[in-house]
């Protein structure tokens, strides 16, 4: 297959971005160990499809604003594409493309019959009312109709989107079809076909992965002091699960900054406060610290559950943790990754550590298609089994080939997608 690498075109491709370059650089590090055909490897460097829309929305003031939106589908080799929808001022085509690539490896690593996708709208959700968010979501869903579907591409929540957002998406899609189609999205309310334990799945999965790593390292999770960046769906639930398992959470943070108490924080009360006030701003106890300070606190386990690119060349040398868990996608830059690897701080990579979300999303989709629903204990047990199986395969590759856990996780995912693509062949 002739190469169309970006250098040779002299111009970056439309989805080029710093995050996409990170995703591809990681891919390039892993591919030589994945034993796949070079033509297949070349094809997987590119998303299959990228869709750009603009969504006019009436604000509460009567003013109309046009918001740009994106959906990128990286690979449909193994099945429909799957991935979150985020609302954030920094959403770009290039960011969605990188996140879609990671979703492909994540789904393959967990042996889910999906490929990767990601989408979002560039907006400031914290400044928008519920009515404005609803109108934006319904218009964005309508714009996506040509490319989404239960057998084509199935959205889910991501940053600043939640069960309610998914309910509006499901309703908008169903209205167009003339009947209820719960299987069009996952992460929706239980009352319309959502799955029990989906809300908790990503954060709980982070802690299941951390627990497995502690076992392998010979540590007791209950003895660990943890710091968590990000206190939303992933970080909030992960903090709660850590406390449930006896660990001490000494600091957490969100967009308003961090709170630190070496004696341990009252996570349940803080979660209720953040839910009521929209963030931890104004939380009365513990020392207030910045997000930068939080990352450099001395601790055993650092959970990164906010957003991409938080650990960089500047702060990687100053981190004082013994293990990092990536709850967020892409929170560590490439250069920081190399520094931490040299410092021998193990990183539980995003494609494994936050895969609990997409795994229970898969369970939700299967339940919707079968119109038969499972209980919480059954789902939790099935999730734990899948994550442990993926963890063990990653650990084995890492030990056998002397690779980082990140490269090992990517190798496992890329190997399976590559084998499927090779078996299917090149169309036409
Ligand atoms: P969320 O919107 O519920 O929470 C994000 C949290 O991060 C909030 O507390 C926010 O205040 C905080 N935050 C934002 N910017 C920050 C900054 N610069 N510094 C510190 N904190 C900041 O989103 P979420 O669903 O918890 O997603 C968080 C990350 O996890 C994202 O990278 C997302 O892609 C990833 N992820 C989410 C899921 C899921 O099921 N929700 C699944 C897999 C991966």
Rounded mean pLDDT of 419-427? 97
* Per-residue pLDDT tens over the stretch 306-319: 999 999 999 999 99
For residue 239, count CB atoms less than 10 angstroms from its CB and return exposed for 0-12, middle for 13-18, buried for 19 or more.
Answer: buried
Atom number of ligand 1 nearest to Cα 86: 34
Task: Give the architecture-level CATH label for domain 199-353.
Answer: 3-Layer(aba) Sandwich (3.40)
Which amino acids are annotated catalytic? Answer: 118
Sign of CA dihedral 89, 93, 94, 100: positive
**Which mutation among 306, 308, 327, 358 tests ligand 1's pocket best, with the greatest number of atoms within 8 A of CB?**
306
**End-to-end CA gap in the chain:** 14
pLDDT exceeding 70 applies to what percent of the chain? Answer: 97
Burial 337-350 (b: 16+ CB within 10 A, else e): bebbbeeebbbbbb
**Which mutation among 123, 125, 254, 267 tests ligand 1's pocket best, with the greatest number of atoms within 8 A of CB?**
254
Indicate the helix (H) or strand (E) that contains 232.
none
Atom number of ligand 1 nearest to Cα 202: 40
Confidence of residue 366 (pLDDT cuts 50, 70, 90): very high
DSSP structural state of residue 119 = E
Distance, CA of 55 to CA of 75 (rounded, Å):
26
* Per-residue pLDDT tens over the stretch 48-68: 999 999 999 999 999 999 999
- Cα of 123 to ligand 1 centre, how many Å? 16
Measured CA distances, 123 to 171, 206, 241, 264 (Å): 22, 28, 31, 35
Rounded mean pLDDT of 333-350? 97
| 338 pLDDT above the threshold of 60 | yes
pLDDT of residue 10: 53
Locate the domains of the chain by residue range. Answer: 5-29+36-180, 199-353
- Cα of 255 to ligand 1 centre, how many Å? 10
* Per-residue pLDDT tens over the stretch 229-277: 999 999 999 999 999 999 999 999 999 999 999 999 999 999 999 999 9
Burial 392-428 (b: 16+ CB within 10 A, else e): ebbbebbeeeebbbbbbbbbbbbbbbbbbbeeeeeee
Question: In the block, which residue shows the tokens 């959700």?
Answer: 125
pLDDT of residue 417: 98
Please, which residues bridge with residue 332 across strands? 311
Confidence of residue 408 (pLDDT cuts 50, 70, 90): very high
- Atom 43 of ligand 1, residue of closest alpha carbon: 354
Establish whether domains 5-29+36-180 and 199-353 are of one fold. Answer: yes
Task: Give the architecture-level CATH label for domain 5-29+36-180.
Answer: 3-Layer(aba) Sandwich (3.40)
DSSP structural state of residue 83 = E
Question: In the block, which residue shows the tokens 């954060």?
Answer: 203
- Cα of 212 to ligand 1 centre, how many Å? 23
pLDDT of residue 12: 74
DSSP structural state of residue 318 = G
Nearest Cα to 313, choosing from 12, 9, 22? 22
- Cα of 328 to ligand 1 centre, how many Å? 6
| pTM to 2 decimal places | 0.96
Q: Sheet of 287-289: strands edge to edge?
A: 287-289, 257-260, 248-254, 225-229, 301-304, 323-326, 347-348
Protein residues whose CB sits closer than 6 Å to any atom of ligand 1: 157-160, 202, 229-235, 253-255, 279, 291, 305-307, 327-329, 354, 357
pLDDT of residue 162: 97
Distance, CA of 144 to CA of 138 (rounded, Å):
10
Question: In the block, which residue shows the tokens 């690897």?
Answer: 341
Distance, CA of 55 to CA of 360 (rounded, Å):
30
């Amino acid at each position: 297959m002739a190469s169309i690498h970006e250098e040779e075109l002299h111009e970056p491709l439309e989805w080029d971005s710093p995050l996409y370059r990170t995703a591809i650089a990681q891919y390039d590090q892993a591919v030589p160990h994945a034993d796949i055909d070079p033509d297949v490897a070349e094809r997987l460097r590119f998303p299959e499809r990228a869709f750009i829309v603009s969504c006019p929305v009436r604000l509460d003031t009567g003013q109309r604003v046009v918001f740009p939106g994106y959906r990128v589908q990286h690979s449909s080799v193994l099945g429909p594409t799957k991935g979150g929808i985020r609302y954030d001022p920094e959403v770009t085509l290039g960011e969605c493309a990188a996140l879609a690539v990671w979703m492909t490896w994540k789904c393959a690593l967990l042996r889910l019959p999906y490929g990767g996708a990601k989408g979002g709208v560039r907006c400031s959700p914290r400044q928008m009312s519920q009515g404005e968010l609803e109108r934006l979501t319904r218009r964005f869903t309508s714009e996506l109709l040509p490319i989404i579907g239960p057998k084509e591409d199935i959205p889910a929540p991501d940053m600043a989107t939640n069960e309610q957002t998914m309910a509006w998406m499901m309703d908008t899609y169903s209205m167009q079809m003339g009947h209820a189609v719960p299987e069009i999205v996952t992460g929706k309310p239980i009352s319309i076909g959502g799955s029990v334990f989906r809300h908790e799945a990503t954060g709980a999965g982070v802690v299941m992965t951390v627990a497995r790593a502690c076992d392998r390292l010979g540590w007791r999770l209950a003895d660990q002091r943890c710091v968590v960046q990000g206190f939303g769906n992933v970080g909030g639930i992960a903090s709660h699960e850590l406390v449930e398992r006896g660990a001490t959470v000494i600091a957490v943070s969100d967009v308003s900054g961090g709170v630190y108490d070496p004696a341990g924080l009252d996570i349940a009360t803080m979660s209720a406060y953040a839910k009521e006030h929209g963030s931890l701003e104004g939380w009365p106890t513990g020392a207030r610290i910045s997000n930068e300070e939080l990352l450099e606190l001395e601790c055993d386990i650092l959970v990164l559950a906010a957003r991409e690119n938080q650990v960089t060349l500047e702060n990687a040398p100053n981190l004082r943790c013994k293990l990092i868990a990536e709850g967020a996608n892409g929170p560590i830059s490439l250069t920081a990754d190399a520094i931490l690897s040299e410092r021998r701080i193990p990183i539980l990579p995003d494609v494994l550590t936050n895969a609990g979300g997409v795994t229970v999303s898969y369970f939700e989709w299967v339940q919707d298609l079968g119109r038969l629903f499972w209980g919480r204990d059954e789902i939790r047990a099935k999730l734990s089994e899948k994550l442990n199986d993926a963890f063990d395969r990653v650990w084995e590759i890492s030990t056998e080939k002397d690779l980082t856990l990140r490269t090992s996780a990517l190798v496992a995912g890329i190997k399976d997608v590559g084998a499927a693509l090779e078996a299917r062949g090149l169309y036409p």
